[in-house]
């Protein structure tokens, strides 16, 4: 008995001094959400608990309070599995989209209406962590998307198109560079091929080239002595010498 009293006194003293604190459930939601009439919207709700998650005891409660006069009504309830409402404005409209182990208690509301303008509340209890404020979302349904949303959508589409255009420009430029390099390489090869042809080894320079003439020799038979003489038809000096020797022979015979 004395031991129990001592333990109670110690616990009470620690709690009074602030050394023993009980941390409540923390729930996080978006403060304001805007949706276009007739579209599906995901209401995000995440949480952080000081106690370990027990799938058999944790509960999630979604409720709705209309903007105008009206009573608060249930939107969705989760305990081990989801329990959508069987009546009311959210019948067959609320769907579970969370993951308890991932600390996500989100839901999807299908085909939102203007009667959904109001405040959605997300409350989570994970015994023994059952204290804490519920997360609230101020929800508004509009005819068309707001200017900021349209601007973000336009920027996203424009950015995607810009990236595609830049990619195409870079691709075409690379292909052109490759073709120009290949054409230049072929031109250099064509220019170097004549230089590699074999030249006449007897010529050092075109202006100093030594031209070789192949003379066509004619063979004649001398009937007097049976000797064969050759005469070049292309060499004028040899023909003149033959004429000179003939004249000398004729002059000798006359003497």
pLDDT at 132: 84
Residue 212: Cβ within 10 Å count: 7
Residue 138: in which H helix or E strand, if any? strand 135-142
pLDDT at 111: 94
- For the chain, give the percent of residues with pLDDT over 70: 61
Per-residue pLDDT tens over the stretch 122-154: 999 999 998 888 999 999 999 876 555 666 777
Q: How confident is the model at residue 175 (pLDDT cuts 50, 70, 90)?
A: confident
- DSSP labels, 89-131: TTTTTEEE--BTTTTB--EEE-S--GGG-EEEEEEEEBTTB--
Which phi-psi region, left, alpha or beta, contains residue 44 (left: φ > 0; alpha: ψ -120 to 50)? beta
If you ran DSSP here, which 8-state letter would residue 146 be given? -
**Long-range contacts from 142-145, C-beta under 8 angstroms, 24+ separation:** 142/34, 142/35, 142/36, 142/37, 143/36, 143/37, 144/36, 145/36
| Helix/strand/coil for 241 | helix
Which residue, among 120, 91, 119, 92, has the nearest Cα to 105 in the 3D structure? 120
The residue with greater pLDDT, 208 or 109, is 109
pLDDT at 216: 45
pLDDT at 83: 95
Phi/psi for 58 (5° steps) reads -70, 140
Any idea which of 5-14, 70-79, 86-95, 238-247 has the lowest mean pLDDT? Answer: 5-14
**8 Å CB contact between 95 and 84:** yes
pLDDT at 159: 87
State pTM to two decimals.
0.51
If you ran DSSP here, which 8-state letter would residue 198 be given? P
pLDDT at 133: 87
The residue with greater pLDDT, 249 or 16, is 249
pLDDT at 234: 46
State the first-to-last Cα distance of the chain, in angstroms, to the nearest integer: 180
């Amino acid at each position: 008995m004395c031991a129990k009293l001592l333990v109670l006194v110690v616990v009470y003293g620690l709690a009074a001094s602030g050394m023993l604190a009980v941390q409540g459930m923390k729930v996080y939601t978006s403060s304001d959400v805007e949706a276009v009439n007739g579209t599906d919207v995901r209401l995000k709700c995440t949480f952080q608990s000081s106690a370990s998650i027990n799938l058999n005891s944790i509960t999630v409660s979604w409720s709705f309070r209309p903007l105008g006069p009206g009573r608060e009504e249930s939107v969705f309830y989760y305990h081990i599995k989801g329990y959508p409402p069987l009546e009311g404005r959210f019948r067959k409209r609320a769907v579970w989209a969370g993951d308890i182990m991932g600390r996500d208690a989100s839901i999807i509301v299908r085909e939102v209406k203007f009667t959904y303008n109001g405040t959605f509340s997300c409350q989570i209890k994970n015994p023994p962590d059952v204290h804490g404020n519920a997360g609230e979302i101020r929800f508004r349904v509009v005819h068309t998307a707001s200017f900021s949303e349209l601007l973000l959508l336009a920027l996203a589409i424009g950015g995607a198109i810009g990236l595609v255009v830049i990619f195409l420009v870079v691709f075409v430029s690379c292909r052109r560079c490759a073709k120009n390099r290949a054409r230049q390489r072929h031109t250099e090869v064509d220019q170097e091929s004549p230089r590699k042809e074999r030249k006449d080894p007897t010529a050092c320079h075109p202006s100093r080239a030594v031209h070789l003439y192949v003379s066509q020799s004619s063979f004649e038979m001398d009937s007097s002595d049976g000797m064969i003489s050759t005469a070049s038809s292309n060499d004028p000096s040899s023909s003149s010498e033959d004429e000179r020797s003939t004249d000398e022979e004729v002059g000798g015979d006359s003497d």
